[in-house]
Structure 1
């Protein structure tokens, strides 16, 4: 029996923007803690502008993407953005609120994603910053470095196609 709390997903809507911003800001909290010269209002303004730029970019450049909320017991705890591109499944973003991290939720969601990609014989691709702790998780799931777009690293996991014996 799994000890991972069960989660569901649902498409994000315009009504979820405040929560999506909260997830974004929460995921950048360690970074913001290093910016001692900024007061809280400056940090909030910076995070808001970065969130809006990212949100706009994703929706403009990935109009066919799945922009999902991750829910536990019906309550939103994170976001998962994916897009099927020609010849690949792109993991655009996965982020959980700090209180939901370290419980195996992200691992379970990514394992489901790579299983689905394997069934479709598609590689899964993503971009990750080199210092992001999630990089270790991606490597455990079989992702390998496949290029660089500073400050990001492009990673790919080739499909694990099972053959009949």
Structure 2
């Protein structure tokens, strides 16, 4: 494990957006996990220099912080008694690990965090661990599937080209 930390939004959530009341349907879900992101890096760094690796890791952290500003519910906490999300900018858990070997070897360890985060459906992957692999754990009570996919896409875009290049298109 390289590091474990909380990544907070780059800008504070506006006061009128601090509390998000859940719909009656969303209240039926049981909240069991805190949102988190986990990054695995290949131990084989022959394709990039140490400074490039550090720059890439810093860019992922910075872009996550910037993206959380736009997806502020993810950086808060669920309040069971009031069936709401407190958008308090607490942040998300961010884990980094460096690994060697095949992805199937990593997943076969049955580490609780890894097991909850990534579940293989069907067969096992025998691919080597890529330069970077990112997993995200988000509970449905906080966001739906579309929003979760939009968050991952926005984070990837922000990491690649900057948060200013994000375009949100809302369709009627």
TM-score (norm 2): 0.31
Name the structure where strand makes up a greater proportion of residues. 1
TM-score, normalised to structure 1, is 0.32
